[in-house]
Amino acid sequence: MAATVGEGRNLAEYRFAALDLETTGLFPQAHDRVVEVGIVLFSLDGGIEDEYETLVNPSRDIGAQHIHGLRMADLTHAPSFADVSPDVIAVLRDTVVVAHNSRFDVGFLEAEFRRAGIDTPELPHLCTMRLATSGGLGRRLPDVCARMGVQYIGSHAAISDARAVSEVMTRWYRAQSDRTTLTLRSCGCGREPEPALWPMLPASGCAVARSEASRRAAFERDYLSRLVSALPPDPDSVSPNEAEYLDLLERALEDRYLSPDEARELGVLAESEGLSAATVRRLHGQLFESLTRVAWHDGVVSTMEAEDLRLVGQFLGLPDSSVEAAIERAPDHPMLESGEHKSVSLST
């Protein structure tokens, strides 16, 4: 049952959470998922109090990349929604959510909580799109921002849009002639925050911001590209058919992500070249061994580099034990002192 909305409680007495989500599509009931969460905590009189943002690995294809600007490589190390849900709950627990088309964002959020097996109360929410439309300020967030003098970054990053929403809500409130009469109900919200009904879960602290993921993805792409370009020549025993397969495989791995289409193309090529499954496994193992030897060229493999190599090992379908053994085993190398085998560094 919904908590009774306090008719005598002014709108300015509440804490608000401006929410924006980037998603794989438009329909959570049709298996679309959240790929980014941006939340700005603010009050109508006191401004921004705090922010929360994280990418979310949807464990499926990521949908309209031209809209959210994310690639699968950006989400490789991102947590799942289930991982970050305790932190999202902690942020939203005692707030009224504000979003531009709040039904869309709140619907996705509630669907993600259900998938994670977490019971939550219905979220009280206000919609800046409805408030703006009823006031003749337009419908689309960029148009509303332009008419209200709010800076709109236009990056489609969730946190940027959440900041814009918080500013739109604040300016809308301050523009009202009689703010003392404004309540949740008069603004279209029929629920009160119910913090006691939210579960108490230990914080995860595993958020990964878009900027952090972009830096990491760029580093890892460059890192693997350097490894591939530094690979030694193939041994004479490699046949022309095997050489063609290895060339395509190296090209596919340079972005650290082996897409389903690329995997299928590799399978088609292997079959057309008459390569057996055993031969493909051997080529994968040899390529990974070569990559790890090049990675040890400077005598150290950092934690981030080791994680990147593990991901490549997964793409190649290698056993975890073989991957770990190859990463941890420093090869004899002219740049290392004779007999010196260094362990994987914990530096990043």
Residue-wise pLDDT tens digits, 224-272: 455 555 655 656 667 888 888 888 888 777 655 666 667 777 888 888 8
**pLDDT bracket for residue 342 (50, 70, 90):** very low
* Radius of gyration in angstroms for the set of CA atoms belonging to the chain, rounded to a whole number: 26
pLDDT higher than 60, residue 155? yes
Is 347 within the bounds of a domain? no
Q: Does one domain contain both 165 and 245?
A: no
Mean pLDDT of 33-46: 95
Give the residue carrying structure tokens 């929360």.
52
In a domain? residue 29: yes
User: Are the C-beta atoms of 304 and 216 separated by less than 8 Å?
Assistant: yes
Domain count, the chain: 2
332 has a pLDDT exceeding 70: no
Residue 72 has pLDDT above 80, yes or no: no
Residue 336 lies in a domain: no
Integer Cα distance of 287 and 282 in angstroms: 9
Residues 169 and 69 in one domain: yes
43 and 172 both lie in a single domain: yes
- Look at residue 270 and tell me if it is in a domain: yes
Does the reported pTM lie above 0.85? no
SS3 assignment, position 289? helix
Q: Is residue 321 part of a domain?
A: yes
- Please say if the pLDDT value at position 91 is more than 50: yes
Task: Clarify whether residues 23 and 169 are in a common domain.
Answer: yes
Q: Are 153 and 256 part of one and the same domain?
A: no
Q: Are residues 312 and 178 in the same domain?
A: no
pLDDT reading at 68 higher than 50: yes
The answer on 171 and 43 residing in a single domain is yes
State whether 168 and 227 are in the same domain: no
Query: Strands 34-43 and 16-23: what pairing?
Result: antiparallel
Amino acid in position 265:
E
pLDDT at res. 346: 29
How far is the C-alpha of 326 from the C-alpha of 336, rounded, in Å?
17
348 pLDDT band, cuts 50/70/90, is very low
pLDDT at 229: 56
289 close to 326: Cβ distance less than 8 angstroms: yes
Which residues are bridge partners to 55 per DSSP?
A: 36
Whose tokens are 């972005």? That residue is 255
Is residue 4 one of the residues assigned to a domain? no
Q: Do 44 and 123 have their domain in common?
A: yes
Q: Is the pLDDT of residue 71 over 90?
A: no
Residues 193 and 223 in one domain: no
**65 belongs to a structural domain:** yes
Averaged pLDDT, 63-80 = 79
**Mean pLDDT of all residues in 54-71:** 82
**Contact assessment for residue 84 and residue 207, using Cβ atoms and an 8 Å cutoff:** yes
Which one, of 289, 290, 240, lies nearest residue 269 by Cα?
240
Residue 70 lies in a domain: yes
Q: What is the pLDDT, as a whole number, of residue 6?
A: 59
Question: Under a CB-based contact definition with an 8 Å cutoff, are residues 126 and 95 in contact?
Answer: no
Cα→Cα distances 289→77, 243, 266, 336, Å: 23, 16, 20, 18
Containing structural domain, residue 31: 11-197
Q: What is the pLDDT of residue 338?
A: 34
What is the model's pLDDT at position 223?
53
**Looking at 139, 163, 197, which one is the last position of a domain?**
197
pLDDT-based confidence at residue 219 (cuts at 50, 70, 90): low
